[in-house]
Amino acid sequence: MAEAADTGRVTILGRIKEKLIERKEDWAREGRLLTGTHAAPEQRLPPGQRLVRDWPVLDLGVQPDVPLAGFRLDLDGAVERKQSLSWEAFLALPQVESASDIHCVTQWSRYDNHWKGVAVRTLLERAQPKPEAAHVVFHAHDGYTTNVRLDQFDQPDVFLVHQWEGKPIPRQHGGPLRVLIPRLYFWKSAKWIRRIEFVTADRPGFWEVRGYHNNADPWLEERYS
Ligand SMILES: Nc1nc2c(c(=O)[nH]1)N[C@H]1C(S)=C(S)[C@@H](COP(=O)(O)O)O[C@H]1N2
Ligand SMILES: [Mo]
């Protein structure tokens, strides 16, 4: 059942799927889907994964509508120069294309996704994280959060993306803008990104406090903590 709620400029469609969240917490507790094997990064398909051709949608049950007119992306916390970018300002940054694979903790992988967006390193140059900044917390419009170490974020293959296969990323997949960290399980790639917070001490996000692994390397099968 879908329900629309107006939270300022953002419209929320749907309601939080409590049952789905509980089931995934159970899986994490039981270690479901674990094969107990490791793989070298040269091996394209990480252990326990299977290839899909479609692109499954996973969220907490709400898919916020983020109008471009009021769009803001904030970078704040332990940075020298806080940023608050409008959609126009974001698009004025150097735009780059990339291709990468998706690996979801629920065992599906999808090869050769073509993206367009801004390299995270471009944003880091502007925001200038302070020396004590060691972790990053993503805050999304649906209330979702997830965390990575700054050194996992500060990589050449990490982007904030707004196009997939030459078209705007559809709302259900996190449009207008989502994080893309291809070398970690996909739950680290926050959809509907609103704010990137730089922190000195690690702060586990939505799934990380519900039994998911903090580090999330698919080749080490870091599914659950
Ligand atoms: N804002 C937000 N980002 C999110 C999620 C979410 O619920 N909300 N789910 C995560 C999970 S668990 C996965 S697997 C991927 C799914 O992305 P997709 O729906 O585009 O496949 O988004 C991640 N990013
Ligand atoms: Mo996921």
- pLDDT-derived band at 89, boundaries 50, 70, 90: very high
Average pLDDT over residues 142-149: 98
Atom of ligand 1 nearest to the CA of 140: 1
pLDDT attached to residue 44 = 95
- pLDDT-derived band at 84, boundaries 50, 70, 90: very high
pLDDT attached to residue 222 = 97
- Classify residue 189: in a domain, yes or no: yes
Name which residue leads in pLDDT, 46 or 10.
Answer: 46
Compute, in angstroms, the gap from residue 58 CA to the centroid of ligand 2: 6
Residue/partner pairs of 174-179 with CB below 8 Å, 24 or more apart: 175/66, 176/66, 176/68, 176/71, 176/87, 177/66, 177/71, 177/73, 177/90, 177/117, 179/138
- Classify residue 127: in a domain, yes or no: yes
Residue 117: is its pLDDT beyond 60? yes
- When the pLDDT of each residue in the chain is averaged and rounded to a whole number, the result is 94
Residue with CA closest to ligand 1 atom 5: 59
Number of domains forming the structure of the chain: 1
pLDDT attached to residue 58 = 95
What is the CATH number for 101? 3.90.420.10
- pLDDT-derived band at 36, boundaries 50, 70, 90: confident
pLDDT attached to residue 2 = 46
Please check whether residue 145 is in contact with residue 206, taking contact to mean a CB–CB distance below 8 angstroms. Answer: yes
Compute, in angstroms, the gap from residue 49 CA to the centroid of ligand 2: 13
**pTM, entire model:** 0.94
| Burial environment of residue 7 by CB neighbours within 10 A (0 to 12, 13 to 18, 19 or more) | exposed
Question: Can you give the length of the chain in residues?
Answer: 225
Helix (H, G, I), strand (E, B) or coil at 8: coil
Residue 54: is its pLDDT beyond 80? yes
Residue 5: is its pLDDT beyond 80? no
Ligand nearest to C-alpha 223: 2
Residue with CA closest to ligand 1 atom 16: 58
Cα→Cα distances 209→33, 165, 204, 212, Å: 19, 33, 6, 7
> Using one digit for the tens of pLDDT, what is the confidence trace for 68-82?
999 999 999 999 999
DSSP alpha helix (H) spans, the chain: 18-30, 87-92, 120-127, 150-153
Select from 52, 53, 59 the residue to mutate for testing ligand 1; criterion: most ligand atoms less than 8 Å from CB. 59
Token pair of 173, please? 């997949």
- Classify residue 86: in a domain, yes or no: yes
Provide the 8-state DSSP code for 129: B
pLDDT attached to residue 8 = 56
Residue with CA closest to ligand 1 atom 12: 187
Compute, in angstroms, the gap from residue 148 CA to the centroid of ligand 1: 15
DSSP β-bridge partners for residue 50: 108
- Give all strands (DSSP E) within the chain, no chain letters: 4-7, 10-13, 50-51, 73-77, 83-85, 96-103, 108-119, 135-140, 145-149, 159-164, 167-168, 178-180, 193-199
Ligand nearest to C-alpha 60: 1
- Classify residue 225: in a domain, yes or no: no
d(CA 149, CA 192): 20
- Classify residue 53: in a domain, yes or no: yes
- pLDDT-derived band at 1, boundaries 50, 70, 90: very low
Average pLDDT over residues 138-158: 98
pLDDT attached to residue 6 = 54
**Percent of all residues in the chain with a pLDDT value above 90, rounded to a whole number:** 85
Average pLDDT over residues 62-66: 97
Residue with CA closest to ligand 1 atom 13: 187
d(CA 53, CA 102): 11
Please check whether residue 40 is in contact with residue 32, taking contact to mean a CB–CB distance below 8 angstroms. Answer: no
- Classify residue 99: in a domain, yes or no: yes
pLDDT attached to residue 14 = 81
Determine if the peptide bond prior to 156 is cis (ω within 30°). Answer: no
- Classify residue 143: in a domain, yes or no: yes
Query: What residue numbers bound the domain in which 22 lies?
Result: 2-220
- Classify residue 212: in a domain, yes or no: yes
Q: Is 59 in the pocket of ligand 1 (CB under 6 A)?
A: yes
| Burial environment of residue 184 by CB neighbours within 10 A (0 to 12, 13 to 18, 19 or more) | buried
Token pair of 221, please? 């099968």
